[in-house]
Amino acid sequence: MFVGRSLTNLRIMNGLNRKQLAEKLGVTEQAVWQYENGYAAPKLETINELKNLFDVKSRFFYQEDLLSRQNKECVNHNHIAYRAQERNSVQKTQMEKVHIEYIIAFLNLLSDKFQLPENNLRRLRDDVLKIMGTDLDEKERIIQAAKYAREFLGVDPNSNNDLLFCLEKNGAFVLEKAVNDKTDAYSLWSEDDMPYIMLGSSKGVAVRRNFDLAHELGHLLMHYKEEFSLQEKSVHNKFEQQADMFAGNFLLPESEIKRDLSKLHRISNPDSYLELKQKWGVSIQALGYRARALGIMSEQQFRYFYSQINKKGYRKLEPFDLEIPLQRPGKIKSILQFLFENKILKLDDILWSLQVDEGFLSMLTGIDQEFFEKYRVQTSRTYSIQDFTNEGLNFGN
């Protein structure tokens, strides 16, 4: 029997409303409603269209999908930290909610095969919330929170090259997907208190990615269980400003960046920052804002600096934007690689259990499809849970 809920979850996760899906299938919107609500079953040719569209097997639609088997809400959509332009988009919010819930269900499916290290971000979050509850003024609280967070996570004192690795190592699940131009990234805590960061993959600029990571970390640590989608615009904008301030202080620690900025001969010339951009992995614009915030660049100098940014076209593309290597999430990929290469689990078993193709797993996890194709056919070995230890599990790229 056709299971309409499985189609509904697929449709929402792929960002389609019923009208849009109907147009792709060449049927009416009413027909899609009937499929999803159990009043009609699609014809065979429609099933073939669906499986090709979503990279699943035909049988996918005749069994409960992963979310239905999980049978619980894992994400509160109000807690998703979006940019201001996206927070009121119901379709967008539902799409990302279902995507993260599918990721959680997928990880739960694998959970008896591996043991993750302790989620240190929970402890860091609680420590930061204590800092944010002190009597210091807001700016000083954020400065202290960013400084403490960087030291806690063990990020290199003179670089941000290991930022993504440190976040994953300390408990974050970081993923990437193609998102629209209005959304660079978003973050949330799941209902079981696990931190997730979703990065956009369309821009491919390392310095933007570093800022996105630090910005979303700020949300995760300072805005725990805030109901972003229910806030007035002014409150939401305040959250964004706080996360931006956190990111600037986190990525460019005061004592180190002051020392570096003091060596510049022309503080208002954007091209003077090229070496610092390569060292810290942040944009020239972010470096300029930090110099102004620290009082090293005057307001007059900053106006000239920003006029040169516009004149040189650096608001769209800066020097070295395409040369600095882009760090990509590696945690989920490393888990799967460990399971596959040690014959603890076969990719074929996952594909059969979920009734999906490699393209579906690639879309779900953000991992290149070639990775899954490499492990398409394997011989499995039987392991007991006692055989599996956390040794050798590397969450690097």
| CATH number of the domain encompassing residue 42 | 1.10.260.40
| One domain, residues 88 and 224 | yes
The answer, yes or no, to whether residue 70 has pLDDT greater than 80, is yes
The pLDDT > 90 percentage for the chain reads 78
Query: Which parts of 154-269 fold into alpha helices (H)?
Result: 163-169, 206-222, 233-251, 254-261
The answer, yes or no, to whether residue 87 has pLDDT greater than 60, is no
Cβ atoms of 164 and 327 within 8 Å: the answer is yes
DSSP state of 228: G
Q: Residue 393 domain-assigned? A: no
3-state DSSP assignment of residue 88: coil
| One domain, residues 87 and 226 | yes
Separation between Cα atoms, residue 320 and residue 287, nearest integer Å: 14
pLDDT score recorded for residue 395: 39
The pLDDT > 70 percentage for the chain reads 91
Model pLDDT for residues 116-173, shown as the tens digit of each residue:
778 999 999 999 999 999 999 999 999 999 999 999 999 999 999 999 999 999 999 9
Give me the residues paired with residue 175 across strands. 198
**Is pLDDT larger for residue 263 or for residue 384?**
263
pLDDT band at 391; cut points 50, 70, 90: very low
Question: Of 216, 193, 77, which is closest to residue 126 (Cα–Cα)?
Answer: 193
Average pLDDT for residues 64-84, to the nearest whole number? 84
Last residue of a domain, one of 203, 230, 251: 251
Separation between Cα atoms, residue 176 and residue 203, nearest integer Å: 11
Helix (H) or strand (E) holding 359: helix 358-365
**Is pLDDT larger for residue 396 or for residue 231?**
231
Last residue of a domain, one of 64, 79, 97: 64
Range of the domain at 338: 331-387
**Count helices and strands in the chain by DSSP H and E runs:** 19, 3
| One domain, residues 82 and 183 | yes
- Per-residue CA distances from 241 to 84, 187, 216 (Å): 11, 16, 12
The mean-pLDDT minimum among 68-72, 273-277, 287-291 falls in 68-72
Last residue of a domain, one of 251, 283, 306: 251
Provide DSSP, 312-338: TTTTT--TTTTTSPPP---HHHHHHHH
| One domain, residues 54 and 77 | no
Helix (H) or strand (E) holding 186: strand 185-189
Locus of tokens 């940019």: 83
Label the pairing between strands 195-200 and 185-189: antiparallel
The total number of structural domains that make up the chain:
4
pLDDT score recorded for residue 247: 98
Give me the residues paired with residue 81 across strands. 187
Q: Residue 395 domain-assigned? A: no
pLDDT score recorded for residue 390: 43
Separation between Cα atoms, residue 119 and residue 108, nearest integer Å: 16
pLDDT band at 388; cut points 50, 70, 90: very low
| One domain, residues 81 and 202 | yes
| One domain, residues 315 and 166 | no
The answer, yes or no, to whether residue 196 has pLDDT greater than 80, is yes
The answer, yes or no, to whether residue 365 has pLDDT greater than 90, is yes
| One domain, residues 114 and 228 | yes
Helix (H) or strand (E) holding 174: strand 173-177
| One domain, residues 87 and 225 | yes
Model pLDDT for residues 281-321, shown as the tens digit of each residue:
999 999 999 999 999 999 999 999 999 999 999 999 999 99
Separation between Cα atoms, residue 320 and residue 172, nearest integer Å: 28
b/e 285-307 (16+ beta carbons within 10 angstroms → b): bbbbbbbbbeeebeeebbeebbe
| One domain, residues 181 and 51 | no
pLDDT band at 5; cut points 50, 70, 90: very high
| One domain, residues 74 and 212 | yes
| One domain, residues 288 and 366 | no
Model pLDDT for residues 329-344, shown as the tens digit of each residue:
999 999 999 999 999 9
The answer, yes or no, to whether residue 182 has pLDDT greater than 90, is no
Average pLDDT for residues 236-253, to the nearest whole number? 96
Which residues are CB-neighbours of 3 under 8 A, at least 6 positions away? 61, 62, 63, 64, 65, 68
Q: Residue 396 domain-assigned? A: no
Average pLDDT for residues 108-115, to the nearest whole number? 84
pLDDT score recorded for residue 381: 42
pLDDT band at 222; cut points 50, 70, 90: very high
Residue 103 neighbours by CB distance under 10 Å = 23
Separation between Cα atoms, residue 4 and residue 14, nearest integer Å: 16
Average pLDDT, the chain: 90
- Per-residue CA distances from 277 to 156, 175, 206, 267, 328 (Å): 15, 25, 11, 14, 19
